[in-house]
């Protein structure tokens, strides 16, 4: 892809470090992977609290990229590549100290790669006084090839529906945003033993899948427009939960051949969620290629009840991690603060 020169408005450069906190997202499914009406993908996603990427950029005497030890060399090298590309595209080559303070697991279905790219791109721009829109940062750093919900979620939060990327590879337009009810909760179920498909393996898996039936795409659109969106906008939990489970089952069955024959990458995650669904009327599924699964519940009290009951019944693999989060109805936070502490709490595994 060829980019036009960056001619954005300049503001005074930041003297203090620029901090960005970028939220994670759950990818709830594609609506039309085979472009039955000429436009491919379109996706539904939910921005969540509690599993954010925290990153800072500051002027320095020489270039430094630091990441937590748990994140490893691959994350550090990815950050360094992003910074190098931003410098080449903008012509702004001042030395920088880039520090990743914490991040959610990579290749787990939480959108960590997109949030990392957007966070460093927006921090880089703010550090230099450059106004650079999130969508431009995404295109510049190669994000949004299929889904646009992570990009829209960085700016806005909430439950999001995008229209799929444009024919020229442009970032998917946002079609709808709904406020996620503050009382509802999501059990995020993580299996740290596995990674979801990514990179060349993901592209190969997509290429091997059968064409997506137009009838199935139409039914998915019907479920999203007539059940999910009205349910969340009106705070009607049961239609929303039933709609999420239905959409996930339909799209999960389609992607199952690329996931060992199941809609779940992790069998342990699948067993736990399928135990929850008939007992608590939760909205269940897997985010993207997993292995992370989720269960949407009507309250924090119900979430605690589910976890306690599952443990008592031996329905949850002890190796799984379960995090209870709220939906997040705002996007990323960016601030300049020389006195801000580097520590943001216990680090999450990259």
Q: How far apart are CA 269 and CA 251, in angstroms?
A: 17
Sheet holding 293-297, edge to edge: 283-286, 293-297, 185-190, 321-325
Cα gap 224→32, rounded to integer Å: 12
Quick one: pLDDT at residue 78?
95
Is the pLDDT at 288 greater than 90? The verdict is yes
Min mean pLDDT across 144-148, 222-226, 250-254 is at 144-148
For 282, other C-beta atoms within 10 Å of its C-beta total 25
pTM for the predicted model, two decimal places:
0.91
Taking residues 238-248, what's their average pLDDT?
97
Q: Would you tell me the crossing angle of helices 112-127 and 72-90 to the nearest 10 degrees?
A: 40
HSE, side-chain direction, 13 A CA sphere, residue 341: 3
Please write the tens of the pLDDT for every residue from 300-337: 999 999 999 999 999 999 999 999 999 999 999 999 86
> In this predicted structure, what is the pLDDT of residue 145?
85
Q: Which domains does the chain have, with CATH numbers?
A: 18-336 (3.30.230.120)
Q: Which residues pair with 159 in a beta bridge?
A: 46, 178
The C-alpha atoms of residue 278 and residue 100 are separated, in whole angstroms, by 41
What is the predicted pLDDT for the residue at 5? 41
Residues facing 288 on adjacent strands: none
Task: Report pLDDT for 198.
Answer: 85
Transcribe 31-72 into DSSP letters: EETT-TTS--EEEEEEEEEEEEEEEEEEE-SS-EEE--GGGH
Are 294 and 186 a contacting pair, CB within 8 Å?
A: yes
Q: Which of 160, 81, 95, 177 is nearest to 128 (CA)?
A: 95
Cα(285)–Cα(302) distance, rounded to whole angstroms?
18
The tokens for 338 are 């020389």
pLDDT at residue number 206:
85
User: Poorest-confidence range of 2-6, 115-119, 238-242?
Assistant: 2-6
Would the pLDDT of 1 be above 60? no
Q: Tens digit of pLDDT for each residue in 115-157?
A: 999 999 999 999 999 988 999 999 999 998 889 999 999 999 9
Measured in whole angstroms, the distance separating CA 196 from the mean position of its chain's CA atoms is 13
Q: Are 58 and 20 in contact (CB under 8 A)?
A: no
pLDDT at 341 over 90: no
pLDDT of 207: 83
pLDDT score for 337? 65
Residue 256's SS3 state is helix
Condensed to tens digits (0 to 9), the pLDDT of residues 36-68 reads 988 999 999 999 999 999 999 999 999 999 999
Q: Is the pLDDT of residue 10 over 60?
A: no
Task: Identify the pLDDT of residue 169.
Answer: 72
CB atoms near residue 169 (< 10 Å): 10
Could you tell me which of 103, 162, 173, 164 has the C-alpha nearest to residue 135? 173
């Amino acid at each position: 892809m060829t980019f036009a020169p960056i001619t954005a408005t300049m503001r005074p450069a930041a003297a203090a470090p620029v901090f960005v906190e970028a939220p994670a997202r759950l990818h709830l499914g594609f609506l039309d992977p085979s472009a039955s009406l000429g436009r491919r993908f379109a996706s539904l996603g939910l921005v969540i609290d509690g599993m954010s990427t925290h990153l800072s950029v500051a002027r320095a005497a020489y270039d430094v990229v630091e990441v937590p030890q748990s994140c490893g060399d691959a994350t550090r090298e990815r950050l360094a590549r992003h910074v190098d590309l931003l410098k080449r595209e903008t012509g702004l080559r001042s030395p920088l100290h880039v520090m990743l303070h914490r991040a959610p697991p990579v290749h787990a279905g939480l959108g960590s790669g997109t949030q990392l790219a957007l966070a460093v791109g927006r921090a880089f721009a703010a550090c230099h006084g450059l106004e650079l829109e999130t969508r431009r940062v995404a295109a510049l750093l190669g994000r949004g090839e299929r889904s646009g919900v992570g990009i829209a979620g960085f700016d806005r939060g909430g439950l999001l529906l995008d229209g799929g990327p444009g024919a020229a590879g442009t970032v998917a337009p946002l079609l709808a945003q709904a406020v996620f009810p503050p009382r509802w909760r999501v059990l995020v179920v993580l299996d740290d033993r596995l990674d979801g498909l990514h990179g060349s393996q993901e592209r190969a898996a997509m290429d091997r899948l059968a064409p997506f039936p137009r009838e199935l795409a139409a039914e998915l659109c019907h479920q999203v427009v007539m059940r999910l969106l009205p349910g969340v906008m009106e705070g009607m939990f049961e239609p929303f939960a039933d709609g999420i489970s239905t959409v996930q089952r339909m799209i999960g069955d389609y992607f199952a051949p690329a996931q060992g024959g199941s809609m779940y990458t992790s069998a342990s995650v699948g067993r736990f969620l399928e135990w929850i669904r008939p007992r608590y009327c939760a909205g269940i599924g897997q985010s993207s290629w997993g292995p992370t699964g989720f269960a949407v519940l009507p309250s924090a009290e119900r979430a605690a009840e589910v976890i306690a009951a599952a443990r008592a019944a031996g329905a949850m693999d002890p190796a799984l991690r379960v995090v209870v989060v709220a939906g997040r109805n705002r996007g990323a936070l960016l601030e300049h603060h020389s006195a801000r502490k580097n520590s943001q709490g216990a680090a999450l595994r990259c």
